[in-house]
Amino acid sequence: MMSALLVLMVGFQTATWRVTPAAPSVGDTIVLERFVPAGPGAVARMRPLEPNDLVEPLGPPTATAVAGGVRITLKVALFAPGMHALTMPAIEVTHPDGMVEAILGDTAVVDVAPVIPDSVTNPRPMPSQAPLARPVRSTVRAVAPAAVVLVLLAAWLAWWRRAPRPVKAPPPEDAPAELPLMRWLATGERRAVATLAEKRLRAAVAEHAPDAASHLGHDDWIAALRRLGNEWPVDELIDVATSLERARFAPLAGDDLAELVDRVDVVVGRLAPSEEAEAETQ
């Protein structure tokens, strides 16, 4: 019923509003024109068309004087397919004698064609695509990078095996291990430093005087020292050993213990009897 009514309105409004192009599509620029009869010197004006979700005016209406009247032109764009009846604004015509005439804008009927085809109500099967060509695969191109990497790796391994390596000389077997006494002393291990210094002193004495073995008790070790000859710094050895024995149970201050360790090194350096003393002994 509505479609029939719109068709009748189209036929009735053909002489009122002319639509250009005759079959516009969604989003096209549509020109609406109407001829208004008027005498020479008449001026016509139409109010702007209000935009909405369906129609968008593309500029204000224009009025052009022609023979026998005035032509009203309006450009719009519609954004929905179908047949639409647009309510046009009223037109005011001012005649040369000052009389103002109001003419109803009436209705402009526009049939808008869709841009996207209706695939739901009128489905159209798409034609089959041509078969896709398979890419040409080259085995050489796939294996070449791995082969290059393997060759480079083999060359590097061969060079690495043939390259001379520095040989670190082993430490002499008779060289005593140097104990980090001063480093231990800096960390606060005073009792350990005193114990190790005493062991170093006893080991040095036992190397030249087997009777004063390092496993003897303190008193026995002192007695063995007193039996040594005058060429030995017996009193100094006893003083240093007694001070170290006390430091094991009553730790000394850091500076005092460091000085005591230095005395051990000095005394150890004088333990070997002189060559003249050895000759007299023989």
Terminus-to-terminus CA distance in the chain, angstroms? 149
Q: What crossing angle do the helices spanning 254-269 and 234-249 adopt, rounded to 10°?
A: 150
Residue 172 clears pLDDT 60, i.e. is over it: no
> How far is residue 112 CA from its own chain's centroid?
53
In a domain, 156, yes or no: no
The pLDDT value recorded for residue 9 is 40
Query: pLDDT tens digits, residue range 27-68?
Result: 899 999 999 998 888 999 998 889 999 999 999 999 998 998
Question: Which CATH number fits the domain that encloses residue 49?
Answer: 2.60.40
Return all residues near 82 (Cβ < 8 A) that are at least 6 apart: 111, 112
Determine contact, residues 181/197, Cβ cutoff 8 Å: yes
In a domain, 162, yes or no: no
In a domain, 231, yes or no: yes
Query: pLDDT tens digits, residue range 90-132?
Result: 999 998 888 988 888 788 999 999 887 766 666 777 788 888 8
| Residue 241 one-letter amino acid | A
**Nearest C-alpha neighbor of 6 from the set 85, 88, 77:** 85
**Nearest C-alpha neighbor of 201 from the set 252, 244, 259, 247:** 244
Range of the domain at 248: 181-273
What's the helix, strand, coil split of the chain in %, to 5?
Answer: 40, 20, 40
Q: Which of 55, 84, 112 is the last residue of a domain?
A: 112
| Residue written as token pair 């040989």 | 167
Residues 107 and 194 in one domain: no
pTM of the shown model:
0.39
Q: How many domains does the chain have?
A: 2
Query: pLDDT tens digits, residue range 189-245?
Result: 666 666 777 777 777 777 767 766 666 776 777 777 777 766 677 667 777 777 777
| Residue 202 one-letter amino acid | R
Kindly report which listed range (28-32, 167-171, 253-257, 277-281) carries the lowest average pLDDT score. Answer: 277-281
